[in-house]
Amino acid sequence: MLSLNVLVERFCMEIGDQPSGGLMMVEARGRPLDAQLRLAWANLQVAGTHFMRAAQIKRRIAGLKIHRKNENIAGLQLADLVVSPIGRHVLGKNTRRDFEIVESKFRRYRGSYKGAGLVVLPKQ
């Protein structure tokens, strides 16, 4: 839930003013967490975020779809491949070559990806 605002803001900025907007897809986490996610999504569509107005979110994101793991959605499988090396890095575990590849793709601001392409929450 903490990262939803950041993800929505970044997605909206990346998608820009595409006529059909974009679709966010997430992996199901069980009824209680899925319900919390739907509620947080509905709140974003009403209140927006610190950096993105609700109207912008509604215009740029066509919807939020929740899929179960067993549906084998290619985009969600790709997300797993990207998230695992990032998680190891953030947790201070040994990184492998896969993190170097992912790290090279991070958005950067003034040469640094921390806070630009990699946002770790909660912020300290």
CB atoms within 10 A of CB 72: 9
- With a cut of 50, which residues of the chain have pLDDT below it? none
**According to the model, what pLDDT value does residue 19 have?**
85
Contact predicate 13/61, CB 8 Å: no
**According to the model, what pLDDT value does residue 124 have?**
66
* 31-47 vs 4-15: helix crossing angle, rounded to 10: 50
**According to the model, what pLDDT value does residue 9 have?**
94
What CA–CA distance (Å, rounded) separates 123 from 49? 17
Contact predicate 86/118, CB 8 Å: yes
Q: pTM of the predicted model, to two decimals?
A: 0.82
**According to the model, what pLDDT value does residue 123 have?**
77
| Residue 46, both tokens | 């009403």
